[in-house]
Amino acid sequence: MDVVLLFPGQGSQKPSMGKDLYDTFPAARAVFDEADRVLGFPLSTLCFEGPTEQLTLTQNAQPALLVHGAAIWSVLRDKLGAAVRAAAGHSLGELTAYHAAGSLSLADAVRLVRRRGELMYESGVQRPGTMAAILGEPSESIEAICAKATAEVALVSPANYNCPGQVVISGEEAGVERAMTLAKAAGAKRAIKLNVSGAFHSALMEPALDGLTHALNKASFGDPAFPVFANVNARPVTAAVDARELLRRQLTSPVRWTEEVAALSKAFPNATYVEAGPGAVLVGLVRKIAPAVRTMTCGTAAEVTQLLELAA
C-alpha cells in the first residue's frame, strides 16, 4: 500500500485531541511527554483538557497540532514508513510533514512551531487584520476582487486556495470586508469572516519574517526521507535548504492547496491519502480536488489501529 501523509493546519485543534493516543500507545505518550519537557509547560494537558480558548491561541494551537501529528506518526512509523511516497501539510501542517520525513527532530520542530505561532500572534497585534472564506464561484476572479478592494479601501489578498469553490482571503479588516462585498456581488454563495488573530499568509505577516528566519536557521534541518510538497509552489521538496526557504516564504504567501493536491494525485494516483490529525478537514478538501483517490482519517487510537491492520 502506497501512502501520502497529510497534516492539518490551525483550526483542526480541539480539546481531548490525542488523549486516547497517549493512553493507548507508549510511543505516542513519549512524544507528548517530550514536547512538555521541551516547551517547559504541560502542552499535553492543554490538548487533552483545554480550555478551548487557550488551545485556540495561535502560539498554542500550532505546537498542539504538530505534536498530535508527531504522536500519530510515532506509532505508524515502523510499519508504514517504507510505504510513504510523499507528505504535505496545510500551513502549519507542512512543518509536521517535515518532522515525519525526518528533516526535523521532535524537539526542533516543537520549538520552531511554538516560535512561529508566537511571531504570527505578535504580527497580528502589530498589524491587525482578519481573514474570510469565499464560497462558490464568483464571476470575477478572487485575485481581481482582492486587487479592486485593495485599490479602493485597504490591503487584501488570497491566502488559502483550499479547493474549487473555497478560497480564503486575508488582509486589513476594511479590505477584507470590501472584498467580501465584491465577491457576493459577483455571485459568491457566501462570504464568512473567520475567527483568527491576524491576517495569516498575507503581507501583514511581514513583521514576523526576521524572527521566523532566525528560528528556521537555528533549527537543524536534514533532507527529507520522502518528498514534502510545498504550500508556496505545490512542488516536491527534497533538500533541506529549499525547505527552509519555502517555509520562510510560506508565512506571507498563499497556501496553494488545490494545486498541491492536484500535483500529488497526478504523481501518486494509486496511493491512500492519510490525514494524520484531528478531524477530517483535509480529507474533505482532497475529495473535492481529486475525487478518485482513496482517503483515510487517522486521528484517533481506533483509526491508527485500523490503519496498522490494513498495512500488516
Given 201, 202, 253, 265, the catalytic residue: 201
The continuous run of DSSP H or E covering 255 comes out as none
CA 218 vs. chain centroid, Å, equals 21
Whether 91 is a known active-site residue: answer yes
Instruction: Give the pairing of strands 236-237 and 84-89.
Output: unpaired
Query: Hey, what's the cell of 203?
Result: 503581507
Q: 291 pairs with which residues across the strands? A: none
The helix/strand/coil state of 251 is coil
Whether 214 is a known active-site residue: answer no
Buried b or exposed e, range 63-88, using 16+ CB within 10 angstroms: bbbbbbbbbbbbbbeeebeebbebbb
Given 12, 44, 74, 91, the catalytic residue: 91
Buried b or exposed e, range 138-150, using 16+ CB within 10 angstroms: beeebeebbebbb
Query: Hey, what's the cell of 50?
Result: 483545554
In this structure, what DSSP letter does residue 204 have? Answer: G
Instruction: List residues with catalytic annotation.
Output: 91, 201
